[in-house]
Amino acid sequence: MKVLSKIKELNWKKLKELKNILLIFGVLTLCVSGALALKFNVIDNPTYESEWDLYTIEHPIYDILPVRIDSNLYIPKFEYNWYLYSEKNDYKMPVIIMVHGFSCDKEFFKGLALEFARRGFATVTITARGHHGSNGILGLTWENEVMTAVDYIEGLADAGMPFDMGRIGLIGHSMGAYSVTLAGKLDERINATVAIAGPTANITQGTLLDILSGGEVYGGFSSLPFTMPGLVPYLQYPFGYSWESYSGNAVIVGNVSKDGKIYECNSSNPRNYLNIIGTIDEAFTVFSAQEVLWEMGLKDPPYNISTYWHVLRNHLYGDFNGTARKLVTIPMTEHVFEPNHPITIYESINWMEKSMKLEHPIYGSIEYLMYQVLFRDSFGEILRVSAPWINLLGIAIIFLPLSIYLGNWLKSKHTEAKFAKEIENKKMWKMFLIYGLAFILISLVTVPIIQSLKIVPWTDYLGSNMIHMFLVVQSVLFLPVLIALIIYERKAFNEDWEDFGIHPRAFPKSALFGILMALVIFLIINVVIAPTYFNTWIQRPESFLEIFICMLFVFSVTEILFRGLIQSKLSRYSNVKLRFVSKYLPAWKEFLLSSLITAIIQGLGLGLMFSIFLFNTSLLKTSFSWDVIGLCFGICFSLSLLNNWLYRKQRNVIGIIIFAAFIVSWVSTLFPAISAPLRYLFF
């Protein structure tokens, strides 16, 4: 209580000078992150990195020609290009093609690509169709993209580039593990394949629960939303899509036909196959990994292993003339943390070098590499992946003074709500109850309406399709209710448009405020963070624009509700009491109370809506989940605090709408990219 009394006695006018200190400190923080980015990812980068567009000419997808596949090509710099300048290795570089998992993109494997570059390997990382920078429609596996990348490497080799077509390797994670395994079966040019966190023997049979309950021996993936037949309307599959026919091509152990030829999985197909799995992987199991190797010749002579669970871990079967098979387990490691684990780096490079009959001409032994991976520049690597977070910290610090300066500069004279007469407390809270019940009821019927009308996403950004479609439909359904509420309140309480956060005369300044706030953050992050780990520039502007327009509509509805109808009422009247807040922090009463009300209404509505969606995909056993509702509540409360802060100066929703729509659209399209350093930082 003494602390709160001291807070109340503070001279808030002097504390306003804090914004200058925060601005300076934020700029210094950004300089630090920029210096780290320059040091570890530009000066010390072991590769020449270039963006590369691939077109699926020889390997059509859904018979659509061509589909553009976004990729990166990493060529080792001179001091790391050991094999190119080694007579023993015919002056050519081995090449590794890396494929991310579901909802990620080409940047996911950048860390591993840099490690391979230090050993003299050229690397191609691709973005699967329907993900981030690549065109096309989401598919189950992406072997056609993988073989397209091999085609391009071969074309460059034929044109004189020093790529060794006798030394081509594949690495994939999760759904990418399915993709490289299938490509390894279909493409005889592949010398070695590393599957991380996957695949299973048959993607359509069984579930992990089946394994645990002693049912099907297959560790299938049929319970997840992106392979559920009932979810086809949500994922923008082409007209005439057949789950049965398509999933038949995603079978690892069975026969796969392509161009009239049968490709059977056996002891030498795919060649030199390594499977890496964490012991606590949530998506796959060690059992499913054992089964895959068992079906790849270990049940046949000379091994004659009777059951798949007898396949030994960390044991080499066969030899590196094509029959090598090995299962590596990473103790106490989960699905998303496996790709950049030191054991994965060590085992993958070791596997590729032995499969390709390579020996590092400088350092030689793989034991030295293990020392390098575990101890060399470990502190530097921590700093490298920390740079984006230092950058975001700098953004968070300068956001407060930046919004104050811009808000003061662009503050409109027509921003204060002017109610004709005061609304009584009981009537005000009654209106809040009506708002909340209407929003929650609309949220409850959104998913059933989408299902009954078979509404499909209208953009091809996988990262946002599963979210923005629901938000748009929910807002369309709520719009008539919102209009009816505004009409009622104007008649009942004699309110003006300004009372709903709609100030036509203040639109220009408010819009400029939102645009400048969004652009400043966008430019700072791209100038400082882009060379750090991933590209944050907007990919496919036309698709981004579609999502941005959708989000403009969504936030127009929600901000008029939560800022115009709720916060304006709370900010106008001092007789709304919240004992703790009003007693000790009177200036923050409106801020905190409206954020709490918003989070309760919006969080509960969105939580119920997405719970119903997950229940329909068999991911939840009940119609709602307190975890999902809690997550939605936390996100909505945080966003409401942010929006309330921006609204306090402008008193006009247009600035918030533009700012929030841009940031949410941008982040949703970046999700595959930002998931990579998120996972890498915490392994």
Look at residue 586 in the predicted model and tell me its pLDDT: 44
Nearest to 155 by CA among 95, 199, 197, 202: 95
Place of tokens 């036509």: 504
Neighbours of 315 (CB within 10 A): 10
Lowest average pLDDT, out of 242-246, 254-258, 320-324, 648-652, goes to 242-246
Please give, one letter per residue, the 3-state secondary structure of 63-83.
Answer: CECCCEEEEEEEEECHHHCCC
Higher pLDDT, 154 or 90: 154
| pLDDT above 80 for 359 | no
Pick from 372-381, 543-552, 614-623, 634-643: least confident: 372-381
Tell which residue, 466, 423, 468, 476, has the closest CA to residue 445.
476
Using the predicted structure, report yes or no on whether residue 503 has a pLDDT greater than 60.
yes
Reply yes or no on whether the pLDDT at 139 is more than 60.
yes
Per the CB < 8 A criterion, the answer to whether 407 and 649 are in contact is yes
pLDDT digit string (tens) for 264-307? Answer: 788 888 999 999 999 888 778 888 889 899 989 899 889 999 88
Q: Is 80 exceeded by the pLDDT of residue 582?
A: no
Among 410-414, 476-480, 595-599, top mean pLDDT goes to 476-480
Most confident among 127-131, 203-207, 424-428 (mean pLDDT) = 127-131
When mean pLDDT is compared over 159-168, 227-236, 568-577, the highest value belongs to 159-168
What are the b/e assignments for 458-467, b being 16+ CB within 10 Å?
ebbbbbbbbb
- CATH for the stretch 45-376: 3.40.50.1820
Give pLDDT, residue 518: 94
Confidence of residue 262 (pLDDT cuts 50, 70, 90): confident
Choose between 55 and 671: higher pLDDT: 55
Amino acid at 260: G
Quick one: pLDDT band at residue 530, thresholds 50, 70, 90?
A: low
Higher-confidence residue of 305 and 370: namely 305
Structure token digits, residue 402: 């930046």
pTM, two decimal places: 0.76
Residue at token pair 């004699």: 494
pLDDT of 673 reads 52
Q: What is the pLDDT of residue 539?
A: 73
Q: pLDDT confidence of 256, banded at 50, 70, 90? A: low
394 pLDDT higher than 80: yes
Please choose, from the candidates 330, 255, 335, the residue with its C-alpha nearest in 3D space to the C-alpha of residue 295. 255
* φ, ψ of residue 482 in degrees (nearest 5): -60, -45
Tell me the per-residue pLDDT of 600-614, one tens digit each, with 9 for 90 and over.
Answer: 999 999 999 988 877
CA-CA distance, 532 to 41, in Å (whole number)? 6
Judged against a pLDDT cut of 90, whether residue 526 lies above it is answered with no
> What's residue 96's pLDDT?
98
The band of 246, judged by pLDDT with boundaries at 50, 70 and 90, is low
- Per mean pLDDT, which range of 288-292, 552-556, 568-572 is the poorest? 568-572
Angle of CA points 113, 119, 122, to nearest 5°: 50
Confidence band for 411, pLDDT divided at 50, 70 and 90? confident
pLDDT score for 383: 67
Amino acid, res. 524: I
Domain extent listing, the chain? 2-22+385-681, 45-376
Look at residue 480 in the predicted model and tell me its pLDDT: 96
At 3 the pLDDT is 46
Instruction: Please report which confidence band the pLDDT of residue 437 belongs to, taking 50, 70 and 90 as the band edges.
Output: very high
Identify the pLDDT of residue 361.
57
* Alpha carbon 553 to its chain's center: 23
* Mean per-residue pLDDT, 477-495: 90
Above pLDDT 90, what percent of the chain? Answer: 30
The structure tokens 């003299």 sit at: 120
Burial of 325 (0-12, 13-18, 19+ CB in 10 A): buried
Task: Name the 3-class secondary structure at 409.
Answer: helix
Q: How much of the chain exceeds pLDDT 70, in percent?
A: 74
pLDDT exceeds 60 at position 188: yes
Average of per-residue pLDDT across 52-75: 87
Cβ-based neighbours of 539, under 8 Å, separated by 6 or more: 70, 132, 133, 669
Q: Determine the Cα–Cα distance for residues 17 and 401; give it in Å rounded to an integer.
A: 10
Sign of CA dihedral 235, 241, 242, 248: negative
Please list the residues that pair with 364 across neighbouring strands.
Answer: 360
- Poorest-pLDDT segment among 173-187, 317-331, 470-484, 586-600: 586-600
Q: What is the mean pLDDT of the chain?
A: 78
Structure confidence at residue 190 (pLDDT): 96
Exposure of 21 by Cβ count < 10 A (0-12 exposed, 13-18 middle, 19+ buried)? exposed
Torsion 346-675-178-162 (CA) sign? negative
Residue 682 CA to residue 575 CA, distance in Å, equals 48
Per-residue pLDDT at 88: 66
